[in-house]
Structure formats: structure tokens, C-alpha cells
Amino acid sequence: MSVRVRRVYDDPEPADGLRVLVDRLWPRGVSKDAAHVDEWPKGLTPSAELRRWYHAGEGSYEEFAARYEDELAAPGAAELLDGLRESVREGPVTLLTSAKDPGRSHAAVLVRLLEEA
């Protein structure tokens, strides 16, 4: 099982495997051709309300992660997460994000949940 996080602005690598964009909005300045995105499951991304709350600095990363996990437990998101888990079992998966600090973003939460399964 291999899952990793990379910034969508980084050049694709052969080891990326399935490239999954995990941001709700398309990243600025990146063409769809240049991004080499295989999947874009918007239902796996944090809600607009949660993103605004976190980026406004109103809470800690730990609280953001807990709230995001609650959102991922909803039926539609849970189904998408299960599908991504299956993809990870089949081969390498790279989660793509435009976050400046992927290690303290929703992508890191997804990696943890995928590795726990």
C-alpha cells in the first residue's frame, strides 16, 4: 500500500501512480493538461464552511482534522473514501493539493485514514 501527498504544482513523476486532486477548487495557474489529474473527487474535500473556519485561524489543526473526519463519515464522503482505499490497495496513489503546508492540511488527514484501513 502506497499513498503520498504532493503539491499539484510539482511535476508529475512515474512513481505517482494514480493522481488524485483532493482540493475543492481547481488550483490557480495550473492547466488541466499540466496537472495530470486522474481523479477529482470533490466530495472528499472539506466543506467550504470548514475551509473558511480553518483558514481564518479560528481553531487548531487538531480540531480541523476532527471536524473533517466527521464530514468524511457522512454517507457520500464515506463511499468516496472507501473507493480511494480500494485504489490504494491496487497500486500507488498520490494525493495532490495546492496547500502550502500539505502536512497540516486535509490531505494529511486523508493519508492517515487511508493508512489506517
The 10s digit of each residue's pLDDT in 27-85 is 999 999 999 999 999 999 999 999 999 989 888 999 999 999 999 999 999 999 999 99
In the chain, the number of structural domains is 1
For residue 85 the three cell numbers come to 482505499
> In this model, does residue 97 exceed pLDDT 90?
yes
Full residue range of the structural domain in which residue 24 is found: 3-116
CB 97 within 8 A of CB 22: yes
Query: How many residues are there in the chain?
Result: 117
d(CA 72, CA 91): 22
pTM, two decimal places: 0.93
Q: What is the DSSP string of 46-108?
A: PPHHHHHHHHTT-S-HHHHHHHHHHHHTSHHHHHHHHHHHHHHHHS-EEEEE--S-GGGSHHH
pLDDT attached to residue 72: 97
